[in-house]
Structure 1
Amino acid sequence: MQSIYQRIEELIAARGMTKKAFCQQLGISAGNFGDWKRGKSVPGTAKLIEIAGFFDVSLDWLMLGRRVGPETEMLKEQQEGYFFQVLGQLNCQMDELSEEEIRFIKEYIAFTRFRRQQDWN
């Protein structure tokens, strides 16, 4: 099974960019990236959201390597953003997110996409 780092590495290669360019664009230090590679640490939640937005992939795939399809009812990704339903709830703690939390996450994803587009232009 692939690690989070291996999936990130795969995305970097598919985009045809260098690891150094990826780290620079997302503000990741070489030390942190190396720790991910060695399995000493993994990206934090905010960084995972940013990476998923940067590559336009689901958090489910980035974190777990799982692709969600109609045959899987356990996790369903909503098209509007990276909110997951787990057995009818919005997050893995089985608590619903407040409207303010949902708004913040949507704004953060929109900002990340905007920043990525600015970097590509």
Structure 2
Amino acid sequence: MYTIGMRIKQLRKERGDSMAVLGEAIGTDSANISNWENDKRIPGGKFIVALSEYFNITTDWLLKGIHATEIDTRTSFLVDDSHELHTQLTQLQKQDQHFIHAFMDFYINYKVQLNQHETIPQSHFISLPLVKQHLINQNILSTDNIATYLPIPISLAKKGDFLFSNSYKLDHPKEKKDIELAIIKKQTNAMNGQVILATYDNHFIIHKLLKSKDKLVLKAIDSEDIIGHVNEKELRIHGVVTSLYKSILTHHS
């Protein structure tokens, strides 16, 4: 039990008291008890004394989880006669000294939780192949067809996926052009309505596959362009698009 709130909660439950009963017994309300037990606030000095008397335990155990005989005088500034703070604290009333103890306990717990929340978030990546814009080998993931490898967060892709960009290499760098980066799940068939990466008429396309009883249609995903009455023999599906990212190039004058 690392906090004073946890110790109060343990004592209350062992006694079988509700928060309202405990609050009434020590002169406060259930809202305060709840705040203490959830480490949202710390009890004041008079309540430390009242709690220790009510539960018949020492204030040292309530404040620090140890009995008075267990206090290590070598590390406690409260009993170190050579420490300047000791003189200042001994001039305070007992309940104020208890409050300072309680605040220290609360603050240490707060800093521990703060450090846990401020740790640097980490993510893992997977290296996926970026295929070239023109197939050299019929196997899309052959070495001849791979331009480079790019790191992609594993939350976005899986092993076996690959990447395709409509402009991984710009022939006209002065021309503004949307860049697309698609994450592709490798497969050779697709269901109606899925967005696919395919070669058709010797060109890569990223289109939505629309099937009907008598025809196959490919619809562009960013325009109204349609390839109607597709010859299925000439269509080669390389995979289904699972994610598509776009950015607009900006050039400084």
- Checking the alignment, whether the CA contact within 8 Å between 2:7 and 2:62 is kept in structure 1 is yes
Structure 2, unpaired ranges of 5+: 95-253
Q: How many angstroms does 1:9 deviate by?
A: 1.4
Q: Does 1:87 align with 2:87?
A: no
Moved more, 57-66 or 29-38: 29-38
Query: Which residue in 2 is equivalent to 1:51?
Result: 51
Structure 1, unpaired ranges of 5+: 76-84, 103-121
Query: Which residue in 2 is equivalent to 1:61?
Result: 61
**Residues of 2 paired with 1:87 and 1:26: CA distance?**
32
> Greater relative contact order (Cα 8 A, min sep 6): structure 1 or 2?
1
Query: Which residue in 2 is equivalent to 1:3?
Result: 3
Give the alignment's Cα RMSD to 1 decimal: 3.2
How many residue pairs get matched?
A: 90
Query: Which residue in 1 is equivalent to 2:73?
Result: 74
Structure with max Cα Rg: 2
**Residues of 2 paired with 1:32 and 1:42: CA distance?**
9
Q: Normalising by the residue count of structure 1, what TM-score does the alignment of the two structures yield?
A: 0.57
The structure that is strand-richer by fraction is 2
TM alignment of 1:26-45, pairs within 5 A: 26-45=26-45
Q: Provide, for residues 85-120 of structure 1, a one-character-per-residue CA deviation record: whole Å limited to 9, x for no partner.
A: 71369xxx423459xx68xxxxxxxxxxxxxxxxxx
Q: Normalising by the residue count of structure 2, what TM-score does the alignment of the two structures yield?
A: 0.30
Identity %: 23
**Distance change >3 Å, CA 20–CA 53, structure 1 → 2:** same
**Residues of 2 paired with 1:40 and 1:97: CA distance?**
29
- Checking the alignment, whether the CA contact within 8 Å between 2:61 and 2:67 is kept in structure 1 is yes
**Residues of 1 paired with 2:62 and 2:16: CA distance?**
18
- Checking the alignment, whether the CA contact within 8 Å between 2:20 and 2:29 is kept in structure 1 is no
**Residues of 1 paired with 2:81 and 2:53: CA distance?**
24
**Residues of 2 paired with 1:45 and 1:56: CA distance?**
16
**Residues of 1 paired with 2:25 and 2:6: CA distance?**
19
- Checking the alignment, whether the CA contact within 8 Å between 2:8 and 2:37 is kept in structure 1 is no
Say which SS state the counterpart of residue 8 (structure 2) adopts: helix
